[in-house]
Structure 1
Amino acid sequence: MQNHGLGSWLATRRQKHPDKVALIFNAQDSGEDERLTYAELADRADAFSGMLWQRDVRKGDAVAYLGENSPDFLAALFGCAQLGAVFVPVNTRLAPPEIEHVLRDSSARVLVHGPGFAERVRPVAASAGVPHRIQTGERGADGEPGLDAILREGLRGHVDAGVAHEDPAAILYTSGTTGRAKGAVLSHGNLTWVSVNALVDYDIVSTDVALMISPLFHAASLGMGALPTLLKGGTMVLEQGFDAGRALALIEHYGVTMLSGVPTTYQLMADHPAWPTTDVSTLAKLTCGGSAVPTRILEAYEARGLSFSQGYGMTETSPGATSLAPEMTRAKQGSVGLPHFFTEVRVAATEPGPEGAHAIAPRGTVGEIEVRGPNVFLGYRGLPEATAAAFTADGWFRSGDLGYLDEDGYLFIADRLKDMIISGGENIYPAEIEDLLNGLEGVTGAAVIGVPDEQWGEVPWAVLTLAPDADAEALGTDAVRAALDGRLARYKLPKRVVVVDDFPRTASGKIRKADLRARYAG
């Protein structure tokens, strides 16, 4: 094959295991579902690449996809990869102006979208200058043929374009928590190597059944879940969204072995009435990102004989940078683990040394986390200055995150540089306070932000979500300060506690602290 990237994967799987089930989707309560074998998924990707070719899409051209998890998402990804076209998955939660920015910034030549997004994208696709807009399903929103009809009547056969590992494969737009979203360009090599890292460090095997409950447009779900599962020849149970009760039912029905999520995902499952009676004995690989797993969640799963692999990463690292093996969850509690097998991590001092360079921070000292490896992105699309600023002179990616390495080389996250609070000249890392807040009875979530203060410059505020039966009085400002007094330096105690129904979150489940700061510190 001339294609050394993702475009060769499904053709190879079709040759090796054509009848193996690749995808299970649209699962019904009756037990009936739809399935695609590797041969059928490969055929659909072939047809998608043919559809693009007929619309003059060539190597390097961008193709955007806006829709919920579905086989079409994967057909589009691998169909683009066959041609060397660049796949642009669009966050389904974006508002029309944000979608327009993605389409315009990526110079997308084709937009494929689900039926539910037709009204949202019709005006912005035109204003962004996208030549072709195609709706999934049999018919389009305006009566034109839909994707199913187009693929059925289009070109057949596998396209084998010359593609190298260094060529762009996808552009994933960062969540845009500060400023306009930037397009992180991931190469075929980036996505291949992050998949290999997952295979090595998570022991993924061809008999694994992975329940995909997170959106595939997110780097973690794609790079650490879908791609390694397909590379290894496993089976995915593909869900359009997350419902705790449904997830538990699917785990039992299909004998799910792999599940990825954020702490909230796992908490909602453990709090569901069906949790004690659901057979979870097949679960062997639970991965969690976004933030450290609180002790109460660890205990709930350990009581069922389950443990977690925790990790750290970001879109720019495709996304995996580190992983903590399940057997080290307790011994290194609070850590996000060791670097992935083919990835390096170091911590640099936040202040320059005597000659202007940022030296490597001593073990146990907080500094900026830097990452190097074949999974680190090519750069930000159309932003050479931002790309240059994201890398050190010797080629390490500057994460913008604060952390430290312990004596054994395990990474601990302190916080985002932009989230650090400076109060009276003292640095406050919110993650330290949040960890204690999450341990208070009745607290289901915590975010600590810096709020301007005339005397101290900034002071920390705590924003909490509570369980329905929580004692709100016992979790007021005075009570929380009293509970934490003695466990934290007094300047770190929250100046005020605010209770909210829910947090603003990114698609990956991370709390949007910029939104909280705008609400309470504006």
Structure 2
Amino acid sequence: MHRFGIGAWLSRRRLKSPDKTALIFGDQSAITYGQLADDADRISVLLGQHGIGKGDAVAYLGENSPEFLQVMFGVAQLGAVFVPVNTRLAPPEIAHVLADCGARVLIHDAEFTQRVTAALPGTRTSHVIVTGEGVPGAPGLTRLRRTATAQPPIVDVTHQDPAAIIYTSGTTGRAKGAVLTHGNLTWVALNCVVDYDVVSTDVALMISPLFHVASLGMGALPVILKGATIVLEKGFEPGRALEQIQRHGVTMLSGVPTTYQLMADHPDWASTDLSTLAKLTCGGSAVPLRILNAYEERGLSFSQGYGMTEASPGVTALAPAMTRAKQGSVGLPHFFADVRIADENGVPVPAGTIGEIEIAGPNVFPGYHGLPEETAAAFTADGWFRSGDLGYLDDEGYLYISGRIKDMIISGGENIYPPELEHLIGEIDGVSGAAVIGVPDARWGEVPWAIVTVREGAAVDTETVREYLDGRIARYKLPKNVIIVDELPRTASGKVRKADLRARFGA
């Protein structure tokens, strides 16, 4: 019997450090590793009573909470597949995730009931459980968990088995499910332990949503693997984050540039004791110089990096000591990962030459759920993942990003894919063409703008577009501006020349 999946981690932690604090959540009592393991066991039993077994998908729609981790580990030790759902998705997007993964059970926070009700028709989801105590006649997860007192089944799980499906928007506009194995998540956690020096005495403040693969794979999992402590916040509020750092002696913090900017701009920034902070990691986009300066004035520096969902997600890391010497770089490949640059024919190119970034390693996913053609196209003949991003390696092996083939927009750490918006905008009465680009923004890094052509006599403006999209997509994807033009610049083959649009409107 093999129990090498992440579902076995808590039972091993219960054996090694049962009384160590695993989680601190809000004003609740601290949760030890022994208690967290017991709760995950009960979730496994409960899900088993609902017919969930190896390979079945269980979806979770909720904010950061102990229940998120209890469910994830409870699902994992059954050999089932955990599907975290972005809480910002609209009902049609939630419906697509549930239908595509075939989730038989959905666990969600009560605040999302209206969206869930709208999303369920047409899916295979037959069991819906609300977190918390629930109401009379409809017990919630907390109450149901207390009644599940049997021992969980022992399931044979290896590193090759799927552990999670993380949905990432594709360039075609439909979200694709990246299948991450137990091995993928184990190796990305090990990469973080090695490259970020995670130790058992660390106290990590988790302020980013756990449904994001970065927060899960590179935040929670390496901390739990080492038996350290997570201070888990439901959401991010800069003043409270500063308070928690001082109160709990936080040593580790992860976020996106906007996170760090809002903290540095808060009135309590100068008076907060940050002396315990030793490990800051930042992803999503490059850290602006103003933020680097603000933190360096407090004796703090960042690890920056590059990654994507398909790599679980870490690919490279730039050590704090190299932040200035290698400014603009996203660092070296993680310890158990490889990066190379290839030309348009897939041939590796010399240092300093721009090409497509290709990735290999045990953290790289096996493919997209139910999409064999897209999976095959994503890999080279010799097994390297084609990122779709452009970059180059310097003569010391440091990676620099030159551009994004897929034109993805990163806004406040959230990925926005223009084709999804362009397709929906094209449905608006009077719109004859649409192109979405990312425009620099001081707060969010980038925000989406829509460049639109309209038919003669049609009345289309920013509010028309936003009102149509609102409820069909997550609100963070809504264009911040809509510009009406006479025509879109196109190539001879009819493709929109987005570089021209960025040069005109994106400066």
- State the TM-score bracket (shorter-chain normalisation): 0.7 to 0.9
Partner of 1:167: 161
Q: Which amino acid aligns with 2:215?
A: S
Partner of 2:355: 367
Q: Check whether the contact 2:171–2:406 (CA below 8 A) recurs between aligned residues.
A: no
Partner of 2:34: 39
| Residue 21 (str. 1) matches residue 16 (str. 2) | no
Partner of 2:10: 10
**Distance in structure 2 (CA, Å) of the matches to 1:520 and 1:113:** 40
Counting only pairs closer than 5 Å after superposition, residues 211-250 of structure 1 correspond to structure 2 as 211-250=205-244
Evaluate the alpha carbon distance shift between residue 223 and residue 460 of structure 1 in structure 2; reply closer, same or farther with a 3 A threshold. Answer: closer
1:375-404 deviation per Cα after TM superposition (whole angstroms, max 9, x unaligned): 001110000000000000100000111111
| Residue 197 (str. 1) matches residue 185 (str. 2) | no
Superposition deviation, residue 17 in structure 1: 0.5
Counting only pairs closer than 5 Å after superposition, residues 108-507 of structure 1 correspond to structure 2 as 108-140=103-135, 143-176=137-170, 178-349=172-343, 351-352=344-345, 358-419=346-407, 463-465=439-441
Partner of 2:76: 81
Superposition deviation, residue 517 in structure 1: 9.2
Evaluate the alpha carbon distance shift between residue 195 and residue 332 of structure 1 in structure 2; reply closer, same or farther with a 3 A threshold. Answer: same
**Distance in structure 1 (CA, Å) of the matches to 2:119 and 2:172:** 22
1:274-305 deviation per Cα after TM superposition (whole angstroms, max 9, x unaligned): 11111111111000011111111111111000
**Distance in structure 1 (CA, Å) of the matches to 2:172 and 2:376:** 19
Q: Check whether the contact 2:108–2:130 (CA below 8 A) recurs between aligned residues.
A: yes
Q: Check whether the contact 2:389–2:405 (CA below 8 A) recurs between aligned residues.
A: yes
Q: Check whether the contact 1:172–1:184 (CA below 8 A) recurs between aligned residues.
A: yes
SS at match of 1:182: strand
**Distance in structure 1 (CA, Å) of the matches to 2:437 and 2:129:** 47
**Distance in structure 2 (CA, Å) of the matches to 1:110 and 1:461:** 37
Structure 2: runs of 5+ lacking an equivalent: 419-433, 444-461, 463-468, 489-507
Superposition deviation, residue 463 in structure 1: 3.2
Partner of 1:476: none
Residue among 85, 88, 91 paired with 1:90? 85
SS at match of 1:108: coil
**Distance in structure 2 (CA, Å) of the matches to 1:182 and 1:50:** 30
Evaluate the alpha carbon distance shift between residue 462 and residue 67 of structure 1 in structure 2; reply closer, same or farther with a 3 A threshold. Answer: closer
1:180-230 deviation per Cα after TM superposition (whole angstroms, max 9, x unaligned): 100000000000000000000000000000000000010000000000000
Q: Check whether the contact 1:2–1:160 (CA below 8 A) recurs between aligned residues.
A: no
**Distance in structure 2 (CA, Å) of the matches to 1:463 and 1:102:** 29
Partner of 1:56: 51
Percent identical pairs in the alignment equals 64
Evaluate the alpha carbon distance shift between residue 169 and residue 520 of structure 1 in structure 2; reply closer, same or farther with a 3 A threshold. Answer: farther
Q: What TM-score do you get using the length of structure 1 for normalisation?
A: 0.80
Partner of 1:490: none
**Distance in structure 2 (CA, Å) of the matches to 1:19 and 1:62:** 32
**Distance in structure 2 (CA, Å) of the matches to 1:314 and 1:380:** 14
Partner of 1:68: 63
**Distance in structure 2 (CA, Å) of the matches to 1:186 and 1:284:** 30
Q: Check whether the contact 2:24–2:31 (CA below 8 A) recurs between aligned residues.
A: yes
1:407-452 deviation per Cα after TM superposition (whole angstroms, max 9, x unaligned): 11100011111339xxxxxxxxx99xx9xxxxxxxxxxxx9x9xxx
Superposition deviation, residue 518 in structure 1: 7.4
Partner of 1:482: none
Evaluate the alpha carbon distance shift between residue 400 and residue 72 of structure 1 in structure 2; reply closer, same or farther with a 3 A threshold. Answer: same
**Distance in structure 1 (CA, Å) of the matches to 2:222 and 2:51:** 31
Superposition deviation, residue 61 in structure 1: 0.3
Q: Which amino acid aligns with 1:331?
A: A
Evaluate the alpha carbon distance shift between residue 59 and residue 519 of structure 1 in structure 2; reply closer, same or farther with a 3 A threshold. Answer: farther
Evaluate the alpha carbon distance shift between residue 245 and residue 92 of structure 1 in structure 2; reply closer, same or farther with a 3 A threshold. Answer: same
Q: Which amino acid aligns with 2:196?
A: Y
Superposition deviation, residue 4 in structure 1: 1.1
Evaluate the alpha carbon distance shift between residue 366 and residue 148 of structure 1 in structure 2; reply closer, same or farther with a 3 A threshold. Answer: same
**Distance in structure 1 (CA, Å) of the matches to 2:338 and 2:46:** 40
Structure 1: runs of 5+ lacking an equivalent: 28-32, 353-357, 421-429, 435-446, 450-457, 468-497, 499-503
Evaluate the alpha carbon distance shift between residue 463 and residue 153 of structure 1 in structure 2; reply closer, same or farther with a 3 A threshold. Answer: same
Which stretches of structure 1, 4 residues or longer, exceed 3 Å deviation after superposition?
175-178, 458-467, 514-522
Superposition deviation, residue 149 in structure 1: 1.2
Evaluate the alpha carbon distance shift between residue 462 and residue 145 of structure 1 in structure 2; reply closer, same or farther with a 3 A threshold. Answer: closer
Q: Check whether the contact 1:125–1:133 (CA below 8 A) recurs between aligned residues.
A: no
Name the count of aligned residue pairs.
Answer: 440
**Distance in structure 2 (CA, Å) of the matches to 1:280 and 1:406:** 35
Superposition deviation, residue 122 in structure 1: 1.9
**Distance in structure 1 (CA, Å) of the matches to 2:383 and 2:47:** 36
Q: Check whether the contact 1:390–1:398 (CA below 8 A) recurs between aligned residues.
A: yes
SS at match of 2:3: coil
1:30-89 deviation per Cα after TM superposition (whole angstroms, max 9, x unaligned): xxx431100000001000000111111110000000000011110111001111000000
**Distance in structure 2 (CA, Å) of the matches to 1:381 and 1:49:** 24
Superposition deviation, residue 126 in structure 1: 4.0
Superposition deviation, residue 245 in structure 1: 0.8
Q: Which amino acid aligns with 1:3?
A: R
| Residue 107 (str. 1) matches residue 102 (str. 2) | yes
Evaluate the alpha carbon distance shift between residue 63 and residue 308 of structure 1 in structure 2; reply closer, same or farther with a 3 A threshold. Answer: same
Q: Check whether the contact 1:46–1:159 (CA below 8 A) recurs between aligned residues.
A: no
Superposition deviation, residue 362 in structure 1: 1.8
Q: Which amino acid aligns with 1:19?
A: D
Superposition deviation, residue 101 in structure 1: 0.5
Q: CA RMSD in A?
A: 2.8
Evaluate the alpha carbon distance shift between residue 318 and residue 86 of structure 1 in structure 2; reply closer, same or farther with a 3 A threshold. Answer: same
SS at match of 2:124: coil
